[in-house]
Amino acid sequence: MNIKDTLLASLVPIFLGFGFVIAKPAMESFPPILLMGLRFTFAASILIWWFPIPRGYLKKIFIASLIAVTLQYSITYTGLNLIDASAAVLLVQTEVPFGVIFAYFMLKEKPTIRALVGISIAFVGVYILTGSPNLDGKFVGISLTILGSGIWALGQVIVKPLSKVINPIALVAWLAFFSGPILIIISLIIDGNTIKYISSASFEHWMIVFYLGFIMQPITYGCFYYVLKNNPLYKVLPIVTMGIPPVGLLAAIFLLGEKPTPELFLGGSIIIIGVIMIVFTKKNKESYVKDKNGKLRSKLTKTITTWLHNNKNIYKWKKKEFTKPKLLNEI
């Protein structure tokens, strides 16, 4: 990944980590699904006018929006509403191992042994984190947050092929165009009286909705899908999510007044270690070449084999020149 893509990817967790945390107080006025519906409706309302209709891809975008946006955000933010933001921002890091797993089965992006070890470590961290006293009796919230992370990773695998043929920000716009109204309808069915929630919401909570829809959504996902277009998922996803824990934790502590427990810090640290192992995993196909039989061998192995083959005459010459020392009784 080049420097430009790395910098763009690094912007994503800053906006996402902050937005993820400040969405929690907004749920005092808006149910989670309605909040997400407004977020994506606002984002679509300012973006779709700048891009042509992606004819030939609308069906695929619609299907992707159902999984990557509608289903995922409904589940994840319902989970966030049930647990502390500081815990949720760490649990969503399971997006990384889930992303590597889905990329292997669906995109044939084979992970390295180091990445697999990182995945295992990350899930150990999840186990420790869920033992925090702050999460006692909150199994549903924990489960929804982790499930939402898995669905998000699956959604990005589905979206990745579309990001190669559609402008990244246009893709964000049309995903939001389909998902926003659907989320509002779902909220109307589940939560009831949507008009009441909208009319009684405080000014501060409306400002959060505006940030989520008009600022965070276009910038973060525009950058994300742009980088995803040019790089494998196993490299992009960890970099994007690595910055979310520190940004999210700081926001939860200073803005929401939350007090993370030692278990949360320990489990979260282990999760991040696992993520780092995945981030800095080198998957260099260029380090391997095929021999004359079509088998994949490392360049070092082939170099040594080629040298021995090219210098076999020297080896034979030396062998001929070598004479075994005579024993005393043979003299």
Give the Å distances, CA to CA, from 27 to 71, 149, 197: 18, 20, 10
What pLDDT score was predicted for residue 234?
67
At 37, the pLDDT band (50, 70, 90 cuts) reads: very high
Q: How many CB atoms lie within 10 A of CB 106?
A: 14
Do 22 and 151 lie in a common domain? yes
The verdict on 150 and 243 lying in the same domain is yes
Out of 266, 283, 300, pick the residue that ends a domain.
283
| Span 87-104, average pLDDT | 83
Q: Which amino acid is at 47?
A: L
Tens of pLDDT along 47-74?
A: 888 888 888 889 999 999 999 899 999 9
The pLDDT score that the predictor gives to residue 310 is 54
| pLDDT of res. 220 | 82
> Could you say which of 283, 298, 320 is where a domain stops?
283
Count other C-beta atoms under 10 Å from residue 38's C-beta: 25
SS (H, E, C) the chain: CCHHHHHHHHHHHHHHHHHHHHHHHHCCCCCHHHHHHHHHHHHHHHHHHHCCCCCCCHHHHHHHHHHHHHHHHHHHHHHHHHCCHHHHHHHHHHHHHHHHHHHHHHHCCCCCHHHHHHHHHHHHHHHHHCCCHHHCCCHHHHHHHHHHHHHHHHHHHHHHHHHCCCCHHHHHHHHHHHHHHHHHHHHHHHHCCHHHHHHHCCHHHHHHHHHHHHHHHHHHHHHHHHHHHHCCHHHHHHHHHHCHHHHHHHHHHHHCCCCCCHHHHHHHHHHHHHHHHHHCCCCCHHHEEECCCCCEEEHHHHHHHHHHHHCHHHHHHHHHHCCCCCCHHHC
- Whether 266 and 294 map to the same domain: the answer is no
Residue that the structure tokens 């590597």 belong to:
100
Q: Are 241 and 94 in contact (CB under 8 A)?
A: no
Q: Are 260 and 316 in a shared domain?
A: no
Q: What is the count of structural domains for the chain?
A: 2
Q: How many angstroms separate the CA atoms of 259 and 271, rounded?
A: 19
Question: Which two three-digit tokens encode residue 142?
Answer: 């924990």
Q: What percent of the chain has pLDDT over 90?
A: 24
Tell me: do 244 and 276 sit in the same domain: yes
What residues contact residue 316 under an 8 Å CB cut-off, 6+ apart? none
Let me know whether 211 and 323 are in one domain: no
Lookup result for tokens 């069915």: 189
Q: What percent of the chain has pLDDT over 70?
A: 82
Residue with the two structure tokens 């042509």:
52
Are residue 174 and residue 233 in the same domain, yes or no? yes
Residues 269, 213 share a domain? yes
Length of the chain: 331
Task: Give CA torsion, residues 286, 290, 291, 294, to 10 deg.
Answer: 170
**pTM metric for this prediction:** 0.74
Tell me, yes or no, whether 134 and 261 share the same domain.
yes
**For the segment 290-312, what is each residue's pLDDT rounded down to a tens digit?**
455 554 444 444 444 454 455 55
Give the structural domain span for 293: 287-330
Residue with tokens 């990944």: 1
In a shared domain, residues 212 and 306: no
Does 115 lie in the same domain as 45? yes
Q: Phi and psi of 320, rounded to 5°? A: -70, -40
Query: Do 315 and 175 have their domain in common?
Result: no
119-157 pLDDT, tens digit per residue, is 888 888 888 887 777 777 788 888 999 999 889 888 878
Q: Which residue has the higher pLDDT, 278 or 120?
A: 120
> Contact, 223 vs 169, CB < 8 A?
no
